[in-house]
Structure 1
């Protein structure tokens, strides 16, 4: 009797099995006999669930379930303790089961492209081994701040979503090397982006960005894609304002911050007893011209001086903060005030 191609797939004791494009409605039960299986390809089928017996595949490291009809992450995934790569693109996911995510601690690669996700649960932080996360072509509006606690994340792919901002804590992703954010609705990048000292590729094309963070010069970018953004352009306009009136709070804060720099100052030694004052001053900014500290943003400026390879623009607008019009009107700097039409 001639055996069908599907039956022949289960002969022997293979390390990998390819069930892709078989029009499967369910995973064939004989797979339980293949407990040494390391990689299972089952993309391009019509699967909607995984049976409990999949949990016997304790050696499984790679699982590809792309282009199926799953509406949820199967609960059985949490029992595959050696699973390191999971492809789940092109399904019908609207949310992610937090309990499943919490138990996939060995996962290093997760592909969730082309689903219907509107958010990611805080439990994404439990994927402590994750190096690559891809969530392109979903409906994400924001990332949870907990995503910034992933200690080993090297690549984050989130193009073609509805993101309007990034978490302020993004600077904690110290291992991040590639960040893909094209075709979203991002209007402003957080200042923490300047702390990503491993980042060499940033794709922010096709957003609503006007200016880059102040510390972009600290990011070792080799590739920057920023076309199709309403970036500020260099159009010098003379400023007639020469002085300003500071509030009593601002004047006091500036005086205290100046005194704190003096090691012999009584204020420097007394301030340690005032927690509220320390917290307030910790939010201070540094003037890009005179380097003095100030509390509230007084004058937002821009400098066109960051050259990045492979960027369509020779220079990009980088934010700078100045403490006064005195600094702004001083000579020898290349900062421009931001004027809105």
Structure 2
């Protein structure tokens, strides 16, 4: 969970004048508002008066609640709320249809704090939910068809959520340090998960593809028994759980 002062003085209030002074244009030409690490405990409503905002950074503050009016920040492509105390997202989050990158790492979100509306973020490409209290994900997240990277590390997941199996463009998922186990016939062989990378065959170079196939054959030989080996449900993927790598550089 987020680190910060508790029981201290009231958080800093951001005025429209202060927000305008914090506006910058990135080297890529994006209008970025940086209000990080300012002791803010209330989401600034004055942001609604700033037009053409594309990137908003409110990380490392003292926010506990995100208001529903956040959905009015249409046009925002990048939203960073990491390292706060956020316990719940409002339904309005689903109105940010242009959002591509959302960072909610290091907050206090549990499974009830993620509304089904998060599945409406059709353009989302990266989502960081690491370092929260999640034990499950909304099934509607299966609708995040453009999602490419998902951070779920340091949560309370005991199984890989079903909706993740249905994400067609997911290339990287981090599930480190969850109480997750792989179901195996021999209970003594149960072990915690590490990184899990979901990769489609067409996204691999020839060398990597051959390595994956060889690894799969090796594991299959090891698991030969009276019963047939179960086939994975990941269409077009190279058995992601069995060939998960802790070093992403092995995947091209």
Q: TM-score range by the shorter chain?
A: 0.5 to 0.7
Match of 1:48 in 2: 12
1:178 counterpart (149, 160, 172): 149
Deviation at 1:163, TM superposition (A): 0.7
CA contact (8 A) 1:197 1:219 kept: no
| In 1, Cα distance between equivalents of 2:107 and 2:60 | 10
**For structure 1, which runs of at least 5 residues remain unmatched after alignment?**
1-45, 224-233, 240-287, 290-303, 313-341
Higher-strand-fraction structure: 1
Deviations 1:53-76 (A, max 9, x none): 468789972110110111111111
1:193 counterpart (160, 164, 167): 164
CA contact (8 A) 2:148 2:171 kept: yes
| In 2, Cα distance between equivalents of 1:206 and 1:197 | 25
| In 1, Cα distance between equivalents of 2:118 and 2:33 | 23
Match of 2:186 in 1: none
| In 2, Cα distance between equivalents of 1:305 and 1:238 | 24
Match of 1:283 in 2: none
Match of 2:85 in 1: 116
Mapped pair 1:150 → 2:121: yes
Instruction: Give 3-state SS (helix, strand or coil) of 1:113's partner.
Output: coil
**For structure 2, which runs of at least 5 residues remain unmatched after alignment?**
1-9, 26-30, 184-195, 205-221, 232-238, 248-252
Deviation at 1:211, TM superposition (A): 3.7
Given the superposition, is the C-alpha separation of residues 59 and 79 from structure 1 closer, same or farther in structure 2, using an over 3 Å criterion?
farther
Mapped pair 1:220 → 2:189: no
CA contact (8 A) 1:108 1:130 kept: yes
CA contact (8 A) 2:145 2:168 kept: yes
Deviation at 1:91, TM superposition (A): 0.7
Match of 1:310 in 2: 245
CA contact (8 A) 1:55 1:79 kept: no
Match of 2:250 in 1: none
Supply the RMSD in Å over aligned alpha carbons: 3.4
Larger Rg: 1
Deviation at 1:310, TM superposition (A): 2.4
TM-score normalized by structure 1? Answer: 0.49
